Each structure stands twice: as C-alpha cells, then as structure tokens.
Amino acid sequence: MTRLRRFKQVDVFTAVPLKGNALAVILDAEGLTDDEMYAMARWTNLAETAFVLKPASPEADYRVRIFTTDKELPFAGHPTLGTAYALLESGLTPKNPGYLIQECGVGLVQVNQLAEGGQAFSAPPAVLKPLAAEYNDLLASALRGGKIQANVTPVQADMGIIWLVVRMESAQDCLNIKADAAAISQLQTQLGINGVAVYGLHDDNGPANYEVRALIDEDGVLKEDPVTGSANACLARVLKEAGFPDGNNTDQKYLVRQGTKLQRDGRVTVTFIDGEPWIGGDSCTLIDGTLDL
C-alpha cells in the first residue's frame, strides 16, 4: 500500500538553481524495499537518489542509502551534502550543534554547517595506488585532446567509490579533452574504477584554483558528472599525499570549478582542518513536495 512521503529535489554545489548537480531526496524511506528504491532511482533518472532512514548507530542523526539507476553506492559526495541540506531545511534538529552525523555504507560521516552558508563533509579515508605505467597509452587514448602532465603519476583513489585521478598540464587542457568512451570503459573494467577524474591548474586570474571533470562510461555511453563530491574528495587526498604541489598548503584551502563543459558552474571548496580534507558547497531546493510511493 502506498503512502505520501516527503520529497525534495535539490541542486548541489551551487547557490544558483540549475548550475550544480541535481539530487532526489526521499526524506522518509522507511518501509521501502530495495526493488522499490531501485525503481524510484530509475524513475528520477538522476545520477543519484538518496533515501533517508532511521539510523542504527546512536551517534548518527540519520541513515542514507544512495542509489544510481543500476547500483547502490556506499558513499557519494553530492548526495551527502544534498541530503544534509534537505534535512536541515525540513527542520531536522542535529544531535550536536553545528553538525550532522550521517550513517551510510562507509560508516559515519560528519557534515558541518558552515558559518558562511552551505555544508561540508569530512572526506572518508582513501587508499591511494599509483597507476601502473602499462596503462599510460590507454589513458592517453581515453583523454585525447588534452595534455596529461608527464611528471605526475595518475593515482587510483579508493574511498568506497574509486576514481582514477589524473593531472592535466592546465585547466584548459582539462577542458580540451574529447574523451573516448571505449578507452574509458577499458580503464574502468581493467582497473575496477568507477570513472576518471581529471584536473588542471587555473592561472592566478582564473575563476578557481582547479578545473575538474569527472568522466564515466555507462554501458558504452560516455557520461560526464556535473559536480562530483567523491572525485573532489579523492583529489584532496591525492594533493595532500603529493605535499600540496601548488602551494595550497599555505592556507590549506582551495576552490574547484566543475561542470563547465555541461553549461554548469559548480563550485567546491576544499578546506584542510587538522590535516583532514572537508569538501564543501552550497545547495538550493528546486522541488519540494510529496510522493505517493
């Protein structure tokens, strides 16, 4: 038997509607089966749909399950921020002033409310693995049109979702990429990664410190994610491991622009607190209502 459930569709990593990454949030998902969650995720046809449940951990404010159209993710960045924003906007009172504790597939994730607005999540730990040289030619084919920075080894970063993080020679080289879906698919299959995250440094007058793109092959179709919390969390871990090669360790904060090639304008703030990266941004609500589900 169906029932009315609170529902929001929010735009994440932007304060301007339609410029970020859309997320569907079912604020009361109790009683839904896995099949029903998958069906709902396919119906929204968004990159991810988040389902809010009662937490099992006494420390957590809520539990979230995150579904794509064909699989469940243990963690993802823009659903983490978007779900926290939607719950706070709906009147949830955190157990602890100033932050929420989210329970998800990777465990407990803290989400802070920022004084300047927006939220930021604590990036989960990541296992970093340099890419073997035997894949260099395949990677170059995958990222045709852009120049990979030769003296920086690409890194597989695994934090539940796995991104191959690749540095380009510049932000413009990042934007110049005309990705090859077949080569991206081969990399995903052979390396067991979810996608390829490329980044390049802007000059001093640029709109951000880094330009980022997240490229994914899904069943032979090349897709680009508009703004990606998990990819930026992996990048933050990679930059820290590299010793902040661009001088960002001075204030341990930098800004990312993502979504440019998709006519979006996502902005991600990355701040290191006690050496740990926090991935932040604004969100805004576009749809607020109920589902009969």
Which position among 30, 48, 103, 241 bears the catalytic label?
48
Question: Can you tell me the distance from the alpha carbon of 270 to that of 279, in angstroms, rounded to the nearest whole number?
Answer: 5
The CA distance from 80 to 2, in Å, is: 27
CA distance 81 to 267: 13
Q: Tell me the HSE value of 194 on the side-chain side, using a 13 A CA sphere.
A: 23
pTM to 2 decimal places:
0.94
Query: Mean pLDDT over all residues of the chain?
Result: 96
> How many other CB atoms are found less than 10 A from the CB of residue 230?
30
Residue 206, C-beta contacts closer than 8 angstroms, at least 6 positions apart: 171
Tens digits of residue pLDDT in 257-278: 999 999 999 999 999 999 999 9
**pLDDT (mean) for 18-23:** 98
Predicted pLDDT at 270? 96
The total number of residues written for the chain in this structure: 293
Pick from 207, 159, 164: which is nearest to 184 by CA?
164
Give me Rg for the CA atoms of the chain: 18
Looking at residue 218, its pLDDT comes to 87
Assign 3-class secondary structure to the chain.
CCCEEEEEEEEECCCCCCCCEEEEEECCCCCCCHHHHHHHHHHHCCCCEEEEECCCCCCCCEEEEEECCCCEECCCHHHHHHHHHHHHHCCCCCCECCEEEEEECCEEEEEEECCCCCEEEECCCCEEEECCHHHHHHHHHHCCCCCECCCCCCEEEECCCEEEEEEECCHHHHHHCCCCHHHHHHHHHHHCCCEEEEEEECCCCCCCCEEEEEEEEECCEEEEECCCHHHHHHHHHHHHHCCCCCCHHHCCEEEEEECHHHCCCEEEEEEEECCEEEEEECEEEEEEEEEEC
Active site residue 48: yes
Q: Which pLDDT band holds residue 291 (cuts at 50, 70, 90)? A: very high
pLDDT, one tens digit per residue, over 22-71 is 999 999 999 999 999 999 999 999 999 999 999 999 999 999 999 999 99
How many whole angstroms separate alpha carbon 249 and alpha carbon 204?
Answer: 16
For residue 226 the two structure tokens come to: 């508009």
Cβ-based burial of 275 (10 A; exposed 0-12, middle 13-18, buried ≥19): exposed
